[in-house]
Amino acid sequence: MAGQETTKNRILDAAELLFAERGFKDTSLRAITTAAGANLAAVNYHYGDKKGLIRAVLSRYLEQFMPTFKKELVTLHQRDEFDMNDVFLCTKRPLLRLNSFKNNGTTIFMSLIGRGYTDVQGHLRWFITTHYDDVIQLFVGAVRRAYPCLDPETLFWRLHFTLGASVFTMASSTALCEIAVNDFTTQIQTEDLINRLVPYLAAGVTAPIALNQGLVVSNTV
């Protein structure tokens, strides 16, 4: 079904690699079809246009990731109490599972998410909030339960910072980890990266609430 070596699938496979490496805008349909050993016209035939191909690449990964991520979150919510590390650790298993779905799957997925947020403005964001809003709500709810004293505005910003740290790391992880390439090492590195990222994010989100530490430049009273 999903893994057939059809032209349509070869294009998808080639596209996700190139998109992850160079970004969506910087990857031409010619580069994709050449890498896939397909004809230039094939993309338009099978996916309508480039946007359709991007959507297909993103959704294939999201359909792998989101359901298992949701399961983790549901399980977490069943516990009486948990901390912020537990919340972020919910991403771990779903992320690593992508490596069995596809070679280097975790890294590719991470890069794609990063690209999707920086390259195409709002495209991915819209996709996720319309299709997977329930998962987002579960996640935000878990963060709130783990640290209830966060006011909504601080929560909003800190989740945004978190997204930034994750997405940026993800998008450039290939460039950074250009050391080892074979599968086993990649597996180790991916898990290691998550293990490093989780405590950082958890500590950031649970930081003491900022005081009003404005620079007093000219205080008249």
Partner DNA sequence: GTCTATATTAAGATAGAC
Partner DNA sequence: GTCTATCTTAATATAGAC
Pick from 78, 130, 212, 219 the residue near its own copies by CB under 8 A. 212
Cα–Cα dist 64/205, whole Å:
27
Q: Among positive and negative, which fits the CA dihedral 22, 168, 100, 95? A: negative
Residue 39 as a binder of DNA (CB under 7 A): the answer is yes
Residues 91-110 contacting DNA, CB under 7 A: none
Tokens of 103: 């070679």
Residue 121 as a binder of DNA (CB under 7 A): the answer is no
Pick from 2, 179, 181, 210 the residue near its own copies by CB under 8 A. 210
Residue 28 as a binder of DNA (CB under 7 A): the answer is yes
Nearer to DNA, 47 or 132 (CB): 47
Q: What is the signed CA dihedral for 38, 43, 46, 48, rounded to 10 degrees?
A: -170
> Binds 7, which of its own copies, DNA, none (CB < 5 to 8 A, cut-off by type)?
DNA
> Binds 40, which of DNA, its own copies, none (CB < 5 to 8 A, cut-off by type)?
DNA
Helices (H), the chain: 7-22, 29-36, 40-47, 50-78, 84-89, 92-101, 105-118, 123-131, 133-146, 152-176, 183-205
Residue 93 as a binder of its own copies (CB under 8 A): the answer is yes
Residue 8 as a binder of DNA (CB under 7 A): the answer is yes
> Binds 212, which of its own copies, DNA, none (CB < 5 to 8 A, cut-off by type)?
its own copies
Pick from 14, 20, 29, 73 the residue near DNA by CB under 7 A. 29
CA distances in angstroms from 158 to 44, 148, 214, listed in the order given: 40, 14, 19
Binding mask 134-173 for DNA (x = CB under 7 A): ----------------------------------------
Q: Whose structure tokens read 């294009």?
A: 11
Q: Cβ distance 50 to 57 under 8 Å?
A: no
Q: Whose structure tokens read 């794609």?
A: 112
SS3 labels along 3-45: CCCCHHHHHHHHHHHHHHHHCCCCCCHHHHHHHHCCCHHHHHH
Pick from 215, 219, 220, 221 the residue near its own copies by CB under 8 A. 215
Binding positions for its own copies, rule: CB under 8 A: 25-26, 89, 92-93, 96, 117-119, 121-122, 154, 157-158, 160-169, 171-172, 175-176, 191, 193, 195-210, 212-215
